[in-house]
A = this chain, B = another copy of it.
Amino acid sequence: MLTQTAIRRDAFRHPVPPTRNIPPAATKVFDGAKDRKPLGQSIFLMSAAKSFPRNAEIYGENEPADYLYKVISGAVRTYKILSDGRRQVEGFYLPGDIFGLEFSDEHTLSAEAIADANVLVIKRSMLTALATHDAGVARELFALAGYEVRRMRERVLMLIKTAQERVVGFLLEMAERVPAGNAVELAMSRQDIADYLGLTIETVSRTLSSLEDSAAIELPTSRRSIVLRNRTALSHMNG
């Protein structure tokens, strides 16, 4: 919808940050992962780079799902708007994360850049073709699907819990995904978090304040940062 920069074909030379210790990837199709190889190792070799300004739409629900994406920098959210206007944020994607995986012709979610984002893009038809001849690619695609399933199962588990447990779970999740000590830099707004957790922004805010009161976290003036003060206590609160 909004701007998007030109597509370049030099993905090989892109300063791709080392893929973080994301999901364990399966080494054999449908086999358990013993070794923790980063995901999407060979999937994005032939990709193009693209960038999106803050709040730009990357793809929309019901649009053809012709590409797979990998975040290089910035952050992305996928979401769905319900008929009554509620928004459900399905996931946050940070550098190294892959998003846009679909199993039918159309996207079932929309994707937007939370902050200015650079992403790698690869055509799905290309991947399909590659997977036919390269077992490694097929394996990685399967591993990707597997990672998605596990992530979703954790998400379901989180959504049946109380507000405090959800917020704490979110903080711990983020702390794990952005390993920068105890200072967690959040790319997303409170509203994003609320829509991700199925809560209102007020409840998220109140819960954070309450966590600060109990000395479990600290809320610096820079609102997008949260410092974990007592992980043990937080883990305990996580259910």
Residues on A facing B (Cβ under 8 Å):
24, 26, 28-34, 65, 80, 82-84, 86, 88, 90, 101-106, 108-109, 124, 127-128, 131-132, 135, 138, 141-143, 145-150, 152-153, 155-157, 159-160, 198, 239
Whose C-beta in chain B lies nearest to the C-beta of A195?
A: B160
Say yes or no: A160 contacts B239, CB within 8 Å.
Answer: no
For A146, the chain B residues whose CB sits under 8 A away are 103, 145
What CA separation (Å) do A84 and B109 show in the bound complex?
Answer: 34
What CA separation (Å) do A90 and B138 show in the bound complex?
Answer: 28
For A148, the chain B residues whose CB sits under 8 A away are 145, 149
Q: List 10 A-B contacts (CB under 8 A).
A: A29-B132, A30-B124, A32-B104, A32-B106, A80-B157, A103-B149, A108-B150, A109-B153, A145-B145, A159-B160
